[in-house]
Every structure is written in C-alpha cells, then in structure tokens.
Structure 1
Amino acid sequence: MITRRIRRVGKPQTRGGFDRRLLAPMMLGSILNPVNSSIVSVSLVPIGAAFGAPPAQTAWLVSALYLATAIGQPVVGRLIDLYGPRRLFLAGSALTGLSGLIGVLAPNLGTLILARVVLGFGTCAGYPASMYLIRSEAERTGKESPTGVLTALAVANQTVAVIGPSLGGLLIGLGGWRATFAVNLPLAVAGLTLGFLRLPKAHPRREREGAAGLDLVGMALFAGMLVSLLLFLMEPSADRWYLPVIMVVAAVGFVVRELRAGEPFIDLRVLGGNVPLLLTYARMLLVAVVSYVMLYGYTQWLQEGRGLTASQAGLAQLPLFLAAIVVSTATGRRAAVRGKLLVGAVGQIAVCLMLLTLGSHSPVWLLIAIALVCGVPQGLNNLALQNSVYHQADPERMGSSAGLLRTFLYLGAMVASSANGAFFGPRADTVGLHGLAWFMLAIAGLFLALTVADRSLGRIGADSPSTS
C-alpha cells in the first residue's frame, strides 16, 4: 500500500466534527447521475413513440450517459484534485441545467442523445467532489474513518434507485416525457446555490500548482481508449474490429505518455504499485456485471419469460433496493470491509444458484426471495468498495481515484449489457436466463477468489474507530 501524503495548505489542522454544511451539496451532487439513470428507464418507450424510433435507437439514451460518465468521472476527479471541488461542482451543475434545457427543447432523438451526453459530463463532479471533501474533512478533524458520511452517500444513491422509476412515471404523467429532462433545471439551480454558498474555495497556492499539473494529452488518450472500448462493448461484432485496434493504440500511447509526464493524469507508477487499489477496481467491475445483469437482464426476463407486466416487474425488484438500504444502514458504521465483501460474494453466488431454479411458472414468493437475497450483497459490496477506495487511494488523488471507481462500475455495466444480448435472443426466455446465471456464477466466483486472496483488506478499519 502506498505511503499517505497529505498536503497541508490553508489554515492549520483543527479538531472538530465533520462540517455538516457540506452534506447537502455532497448528497445532491452524488445522486444526480443515478436519478437520471433510473428515471430514463420509464421514458424510453414514450420517447420512441414520439420520434418513431425503435428500441435499438432509444437505447443510446442510456449508453450515452454511461459513456460520458465513464470518461468524465476520472477526468473531472483529477481536476478536482488540482483545483478543489467548488468550481468543478458549479460547472457540473450548470451543465446539468443545460442538459435539461436541451432535452425540453429537443426536436429529434439525436438532440436528446446530445442532452444525455451533456448530462453525463455535468453529473461527473458530484461523486469525486464528495470523496475529496470527505478526505479533506478527515485531514482537518484528524478523524480517519467518517463511516457515517460514507454510508449516507451509499444509502442516498440506493434510495434514488428505488424512487427513480416512480418519480419518472409521475413526471411523465404530469408533463410528458420532456418533464424527465426538465427535472434537471431545478436540480441544477439547487446545485449552483448550495455549491456557491457551502463549498470551500480553493487555496491560491493549490490553484497555481494545479495549472502546471493538468495533463491534457493524457486525458485525451484516456478518453480515446475508453470510447473505443465502450463502443465495442455496446455492440461487439467482427465487423467492428477497428474499435479494439484503436483502443490498443490509444492504450499504448496513454501508458507511454503517463510514464513520461512530470504530472500525469493517472500516475501509473503509483497506481501500479498500489495492488490493493487495483484489486478494488477489479472487484467493482465484477460486482457491476452481476448487479446490472440483475437490474436489466433479470427484469427483462420477469416480463418476457415469467409474464409479468412492467409495473409488476418493478414491484418484484423493489425488495432488492429496500434490502440494500437496510443492510447498508445497519452495517455502515463499521469501517472494516473484508467481512462485508466475503458475505457479499457468498450472497451473489446464492442469487446465481437461485436463478437456476426459475421457470416460466415460478411462484411469486420465490421472485421476492431472490430480490431480498440479492439486496444483501448490493448493500454490502458497494459500500465496502467505496470505503476501500477511501482508505487505499493516494490522498493527493482522491478525486481521480474515486472517479476511476465509477469508470470500472460503468465498464461492468457495459459487459452486463453485452452478456444480456449474447444470452437472450429475440426474447428473454428461461434458457437465456439460466445461461446468464452460469455466467454470473463464474463472475461471482472470481469476485470471491479475489476477496479471499487479498489479505490487505483486513487492515482497513482494523485500527480506526467508527465515526460519523
């Protein structure tokens, strides 16, 4: 694990509690992306009907957000490391509002996709800024384990996942599908207001250092590498062979650039020596694959394979999110992560085995039981991985490290999307679901193996009392 190096700038360290004024902008910023991800799930059909677009085209409204966010999170996170969270948070809030305005006025589907790209970049600042602020407050207060704040972030995101589809349905009922874009206008105003009033200003010395440390070439190569990879994962096929080639070329250029740069965008030497953090990123990718297969693939099977309506399928998934919230709240005060990840890994394996028992006439109680069991690893793994990054990352690069965690999350989401397409043909039938279950079982087994082998996890939270 790397040696911690915390920069001392501004006022000398003072003892005290976490500055509660920061909680409101942190919560708002961190939920902007998940709330827009969940709201769009119920607006795809009416948008397709409005523009005469098939599902293959409206799916870009989801993919565009993931693509922009996967690229933008570590980039914006690095800018936050260099310049502080305030101006990036304000810029992100402004872009979020702009995306809402574009969506409200959009004359065609292409403009709506543009709005989602702008939204993806606009919502990039919230999570890295929150992790940066938590680390800054730990430095100021001398309390290294703000588990209560980390738990609050996780629970806020999970709560949004519960209410997002219902909120989207309500907005569509009140003002049509454009209302799901218009909701970002008041959210942006709230973000601008809270960010301006409550976020600390960057120290002048830090701003001067940041200007010299901005690696634009590295960021561009990173973006090219990730865009080509994600575009291929969206539609993997032999006739798109050039995308992996572009990815490899960009990756080689990125590595060469980062190893030579004086102030690299991603310090590969430090990152390469921080094996625990690399394993955390790998675990996030694996967890995301299982989670997003359950969120989209399993939900699709509930409708086409089990015969539930869309509303019934949503209700069948509700226990998953509620269980995740309860588990996160109950265990969040404990800083230790190893036990959580082990239980989460076993929980994922149990869910995969339960999926293998399903058929077209499976009883409702079994569907509810699967959702409840799935909620346990959902609540444990996401929180534990977030805590892991907080303790394993270089404090000087907390924003970019947190952003990279989200990048691996969206890489896992793209892998899950490709798996859904590979195992489901024209219809999400039970045979395809069982194939997905075996695929998920292999992923969950690998996640368990990585967790058992990583002894460094036992050090997280071992010496730090839980604090809020």
Structure 2
Amino acid sequence: MRVGDAFACRECRESRGRHPVQQTVTVSNNPRTGLAVAGLSLGTALNPLNSSMIAVALVVLRADFGLDVAAVTWVVTSFYLASAAGQPVMGRLADRFGPRRMFMLGMALVALTCALAPLAPNFALLCVARAVMALGTATAYPSAVVMVGAIAHRAKVESARPLGRLQMANTSAAAVGPVIGGLLVSLVGWEALFLINVPFALAALLIVRQAAPPDEARERGSLSELLRDSDIPGILAFVGALLLVMMAALNVAPGYRWWMLAAGTGIAAIFAWRELRFARPFLDLRLLGRNRPLLLVYLAFAVFSSVYYFVFFGLPQLLQESGEYDPGVVGLLMLPLAAMSVVATPWAVKAMGRFGVRRVLLAGVVLLTVAAALMWLLTGTLAIPLVVVMTALMGIPYGTVSIATNQGMFVSTRPQDRGVAAGIYQTCRYVGAITATVMIGVFASGGVHQDSWARMVVAMLVLCAATFGVSLFWRQRSA
C-alpha cells in the first residue's frame, strides 16, 4: 500500500462519524474543490515568496539606509522571528477557531500592511512592517493544512494530492522569489516587494471565501469560548521563550545576551511545567514526547533549512559583492533553482508512493550534501555557467527534502492536531533560516566574498552530516 493510500485510509477511519456523508467527487470534476486548493496554494505561497524575494534586495537596502551587513539582516530576521513565533499560534487558532476564518483574516492583514509598508520613513519601521506581514502570512499554511484534510475527505481523494499542490506552491514560491525580487528591485525598487503582495493576498482571500468549505462547528464558536480554550498563558509563555532565546542567539543586545538566554530558558521551563498539567494545552508535550517520528521530522527539517538558507541568502550577496552582478541578473541566475525544485517536487511525490517517505528523504539529503560540497567551486570563480549549474543542483534536494519532510509530518500527526503541527513544522523552517543568517553574519562580518564563502561551505557540510544522521533514525508512524 502506498503512503498516501495508507494515510487516506487512516484519516477516513478517524474522521468517520465527524463528517456528514458526502457525495463522491474528484478534484478534477469539481471546479470548486480545485479552485479552493488553488486559493489555498496562493495564500500559502506568500510566506516563502516574501522570505526569498528579500534576498536580492539586501545590498540595495544597505545602500539606501546606510547599513552594514549585520544590521540589514534584521529585515530578514524580523520576518522569521514573527513567523517562527506566530505559526504554531495561528495553527492552534485554526484548529479551534476555524481554518477558513483564520486564513481570510491573515490575508486581509497582509494586504493592509503591504499597502502601507512602502511609506515607512526609516529602516526600523520597515522591519516592523515585515514582522506584521509575517504574522498575516503565518495563518495561511497551518490553516490550509487543516482545510486540506476536509477537502480531500469530501472529494474522496488521497489527501497527499492537494497537500502536494500546497507544497509545490511553497517550493515554487521560495525558489522563484529571487527571480521576481531581482526584477522588481531593478525595475521599480525595494518598495515593489511589498506592493506585489496586495493583489495576491486579496485574490487568495476572495477565492477561499468563495470556494473553500466553512468549518461550521468551529466558526460558530464565540470569542469567550475561543479565549477559554486557547490556553492564552501557554501561548504567551511559548512566544516569550522563543523570542528571548532567538534574540540571545542573534545577540540583539550584547550587554544583555546571557540575561535574555537565562530568562528565555526559565520561561520555557515554566511553559513545559504548565502544559504538562493543563487540561487543554496549547502544545500537548506528552503526546509530542511519545511521537518520536514527528520530533525527528522537525529536527531534520530545521537542520536542512539552515543548509539551504546558507545558499539562499549567502549566494545572492556573494554574486553581488564579489561578482559585481546586478540584482536583476542575480535573480535570473537563481532561476535554475526554481525550475529544478518544481521538477523535483512531483517526482518526489511519485517516488514516495513507490519507495516510501524515508528512502526519498535520505536520497534528498545525500543530494543536498553533494550540492553543498560542489559549492566550494565558487571560491575559485563566479562564472555564469558554473553558477547556473550550482543553483540547478541545489533545486533538486530542496524540492525532494521539503516534500518528504512535509509528508512525514502529515502522516505522523492526528487530524485534530494538524494545524498546530503544521505551524511547528514551519517554525522549524524559520529556526533554520535564522540560524543561517546568524552564521552568515559570523562568517562574513566584513562582507560576503569568496574567502568567507569557503567557511560557509564547511559549515554547510557539517550541517548536512547532521541532517543525514537524524533522517536515518526516522520511521513512519504506525497507523
């Protein structure tokens, strides 16, 4: 039995009695179902799109606002801090308040923030706008994952199919982000990186409102019930601990770094103590502790993301500073990554059905290690043909490992916990990205050039070895 079939059977058993009998349809002959998946895909694409578009604007922002390398990374870090803290919270709210409602609220927030962001008079407010935009986009993925289960059940199709479309949208958006960003920065300016989100967010909102099925039971809940059942103290403790630890890692305030780390660790301990005793916890630590496959998926994805974002944020700066390429050219040089990741994702979906998630995951990590090792060649030359080959090679493991870990998370999670599980999964991406940006600041404090790139390659290979070791221990959870 294939992975998707096995999970579909388990989901049907768990869903029986909670959904009314539905007419048997398929995605292909039900336009509303296909339109709903398209709207969800568009919304979920905004977060990875915005996380990657900014990569080719860092040098321009440094020049416009008079910043150094460490300071300009805050436009990236603020987005990831807000996303990392917001994704699990938005996932839990989607589980309890209704995914469709949360999705639409998030898209409205994105449209409003991005319409106002180009008016920011200074870099600090620009970072604030990026953080607010991140919170809006953070609602999309966990809400979409929750809705995918209902859509697949109603349409009588394998849930892996619409999930694969969501993952392809995420993969493609992250990969084409530098291309789109490079063109926008070259032709219009960094302001266009915000404005382009307005029509996309509004379109996603309207499509999902029209075509996605409402979750009537949860959407009928009152605000008082939401507050009562949402474990607000647990959410605040989780967010506070995560932000303090990450700010300590980023050395935001050098004089208070160890104080922030100690405070974050203490709050995390209080959070764990409370969640283990609370009847309706924000994060069920007992269940999570028993779910070893899910924990390993999270760890593997976080470390993999740190490798990938070394390339994603480091390479454009290397090409612009050492290669002296225009941002638009850099975006085009990243295009092979987009193309190969789009090709690799459906291939990986089919391969998982034939060989299983674990084998595809391990194959993807091996390819990642090979691609990272070959990045050493860029320390000798930044010739365009070599750069094109390198970005194309990196696209294959990106698409493969992303969909394999995504499917690993999906089959390791109960349907009623899927929103918060998807949110934590995305947080692992941001933890990896933040780790990469911090390490880039350490290895390239004087600028991203070929000497500092050599140090980054060594770090990537160490992280690849760690990813492979974690992936070896992963096994699919029994139904």
Tell me if TM exceeds 0.5.
yes
Q: Which residue of 2 aligns with 1:408?
A: 428
Tell me the distance in 1 between the aligned counterparts of 2:392 and 2:61: 32
Could you tell me which runs of 5 or more consecutive residues in structure 1 were left unpaired when the two chains were aligned: 461-468
Q: Report the Cα offset of residue 66 of structure 1.
A: 0.9
**Percentage identity across paired residues of the two chains:** 32
For 2:233, give the aligned amino acid. Answer: V
SS at match of 1:456: coil
SS across alignment from 2:379: coil
Q: Contact 2:56 / 2:316 at 8 angstroms: preserved in 1? A: no
Alignment of 1:70-109 (within 5 A): 70-109=84-123
What is the CA distance between 1:251 and its match in structure 2?
0.5
Deviation, 1:357, is 4.2
Q: Answer yes or no: is 1:118 the counterpart of 2:132.
A: yes
Write the distance in 2 (CA, Å) between the matches of 1:26 and 1:85: 11
Match of 1:223 among 229, 239, 246: 239
Give the alignment partner of residue 348 of structure 2, picking from 319, 331, 352: 331
Cα 1:377–1:43 shift into 2, 3 Å: closer
How big is the shift at 1:376?
1.6
2:462 to 425, 442, 446: 442
What's the counterpart of residue 17 of structure 1?
Answer: 26
Q: 2:455 & 2:253 partners in 1: Cα distance?
A: 20
Return 379-388 or 318-327, whichever deviates more. 318-327
Structure 1 residues 38-49: aligned runs within 5 Å: 38-49=52-63
Whole-angstrom distance in 2 between the partners of 1:373 and 1:39 = 20
Q: Please tell me whether the aligned partners of residues 185 and 328 of structure 2 are also in contact (alpha carbons under 8 angstroms).
A: no
Name the amino acid aligned to 2:471: T
CA-based RMSD of the aligned residues comes to: 2.7
CA deviation string 1:210-263 (max 9, x = no partner): 564211011000100111122123237863111211210111111011111111
Partner of 2:177: 164
Number of the residue aligned with 1:417 = 437
1: CA distance between counterparts of 2:462 and 2:330? 26
Q: How does 1:262-411 map to 2 (within 5 A)?
A: 262-305=279-322, 308-333=325-350, 334-335=352-353, 336-361=356-381, 364-411=384-431
CA separation in 1, counterparts of 2:16 and 2:259? 44
Q: 1:436 to 1:445 in 2, by over 3 A?
A: same
d(CA) in 1 for partners of 2:430 and 2:311? 15
Structure 1 segment 138-153 matched on structure 2, within 5 A: 138-141=152-155, 143=157, 145-153=158-166
Relative to the length of structure 2, the TM-score reads 0.87
Which residue number in structure 2 is paired with residue 463 of structure 1? Answer: none
Question: Distance between the aligned counterparts of 1:297 and 1:310, measured in 2?
Answer: 14
Shift in Å, 1:328 = 0.9
Kindly provide the amino acid, as one letter, of the partner of residue 178 in structure 1: E
Q: Distance in 2 between matches of 1:158 and 1:378?
A: 8
Do 1:96 and 1:184's aligned partners in 2 also have CA atoms closer than 8 Å? yes
1:196 to 196, 206, 209: 209
What is the match of residue 66 of structure 1? 80
Paired residues of 2:46 and 2:173 also in contact (CA < 8 A):
no
Distance between the aligned counterparts of 2:322 and 2:347, measured in 1?
35
1:199-210 to 2 correspondence within 5 Å? 199-204=212-217, 207-208=220-221
> Do the aligned residues in 2 keep the contact of 1:9 with 1:203 (CA within 8 Å)?
no
How far apart are 1:345 and its partner, in Å? 1.2
Deviates more, 1:305-314 or 1:383-392: 305-314
Q: Work out whether 1:232 is the aligned partner of 2:248.
A: yes
CA distance in 1 between counterparts of 2:79 and 2:239 reads 15
Identify the residue that residue 451 of structure 1 maps to in structure 2: 471
Residues in 2 aligned to 1:427 and 1:58: alpha-carbon distance in whole angstroms: 12
Q: SS of the residue aligned with 2:95?
A: helix
CA deviation after TM superposition for structure 1 residue 196, in Å: 2.1
User: 292-301 vs 329-338, which deviates more?
Assistant: 329-338
Deviations 1:43-66 (A, max 9, x none): 445555555555544432221111
Moved over 6 A (4+): none
Task: Report the CA distance shift for 1:422/1:53 in structure 2 as closer, same or farther (over 3 A).
Answer: closer
Q: In 2 relative to 1, CA 368–271 (structure 1 residues): closer, same or farther, beyond 3 Å?
A: same
The superposition leaves residues 385-428 of structure 1 with CA deviations (integer Å, 9 ceiling, x where unpaired) of: 11111111121110110010000110011111122122224133
Deviations 1:418-457 (A, max 9, x none): 2212222413333332222222212111211222222337
Q: 1:49 to 1:354 in 2, by over 3 A?
A: closer
Q: Is residue 29 from structure 1 mapped to residue 38 from structure 2 by the alignment? A: no
With 262-271 and 16-25 compared, the bigger mean Cα shift is at 16-25
Shift of 1:342: 1.1
Task: Report if the CA contact (8 A) 2:179-2:334 is conserved.
Answer: no
Aligned residues: 457
| Counterpart position of 1:466 | none
The one-letter code sitting in structure 2 at the alignment partner of 1:445 is A
Q: 1:46, 1:312 → 2: CA distance?
A: 14
**Relative to 1, partners in 2 of residues 1:187 and 1:150: Cα closer, same or farther, differing over 3 Å?**
same
TM-score (norm 1): 0.89
Q: CA deviation at 1:295?
A: 0.9
**Structure 2: which amino acid aligns with 1:122?**
G
Partner of 1:465: none
Write the mapping of 1:130-145 to structure 2, written as runs, cut at 5 A. Answer: 130-141=144-155, 143=157, 145=158
